[in-house]
Amino acid sequence: MLEVKNIEKSFGDKKVLDGVSLTVNQGDVVVILGPSGSGKTTFLRSLNHLEKADKGEMILDGVSYDLAKLNRKDILTIRQKTAFVFQNYNLFANKTAIENILEGLVIARKVPKAEAVAIAEAALEKVGLLDKRDFYPSQLSGGQQQRIGIARAIAVKPDVILFDEPTSALDPELIGDVLSVMKELAEEGITMVVVTHEMSFARDVANHVIFMADGHIIEEGHPDQIFTRPKEERTKQFLTRIIPDLHIDPII
């Protein structure tokens, strides 16, 4: 349902993406791991045109796009088929929880108000926050704000949801609630591409794990393979630094 080929992106003289390709099938939960500066977030943002790629092709729902030459109509179409969950929530501070969700439905997708309210309330209930529908972001914890962000994403029924380190800004005790919601979405078959440092989510929920470094995909595969039998030394170094007690099977 989503395929990207040979994405390249530079900031000045620094090439942050160098020929990155990815295939995502319907229902996949793809997790992208890697050290800071590896290009993970830039890659994810390029899929939604939050960053303009210098080069690369996207095939989404059977339609091919040149990511370096997208017009306004192309960008709108891509964003209507994808949703983005940000590190820092990106909620409108002057709008309530339900108003933050309604914005994308009524303004961007022209859904009738009554229908949009029903959709928004269902999304809030799914993330366990219907009772906070009329609260402003300043009245919510970071974890609750992020769950509103997830509700906003699922309300528009995208083909794929892109998560950019959705727990990185949260206090440790709030991370579990957000990951639980994401796990439930995965169990429902919602397609997700997730940049994260949450190794337990990658191991237990993902069906495909990618390790990136220096603008390249170094290794990818099923979580069992990546976490117990990585083929590349760079992958092993990263995993053993993040998970000191990780047992990696010797290659025979």
pLDDT tens digits for range 3-22: 999 999 999 999 999 999 99
Please answer whether residues 18 and 216 qualify as being in contact, where contact means their C-beta atoms are separated by less than 8 angstroms. yes
DSSP H stretches of helix in the chain: 40-47, 72-81, 97-102, 113-126, 142-155, 172-187, 199-204, 223-228, 233-242
Residue ranges of domains in the chain, CATH in brackets: 2-242 (3.40.50.300)
Please check the confidence at residue 251 and state whether its pLDDT lies above 60: no
Two tokens, residue 173? 């005790």
What pLDDT sits at residue 250? Answer: 64
Q: For the whole model, what pTM was predicted?
A: 0.95
Whether the predicted pLDDT of 184 surpasses 50: yes
| pLDDT at 108 (0 to 100) | 85
* For residue 239, pLDDT beyond 60: yes
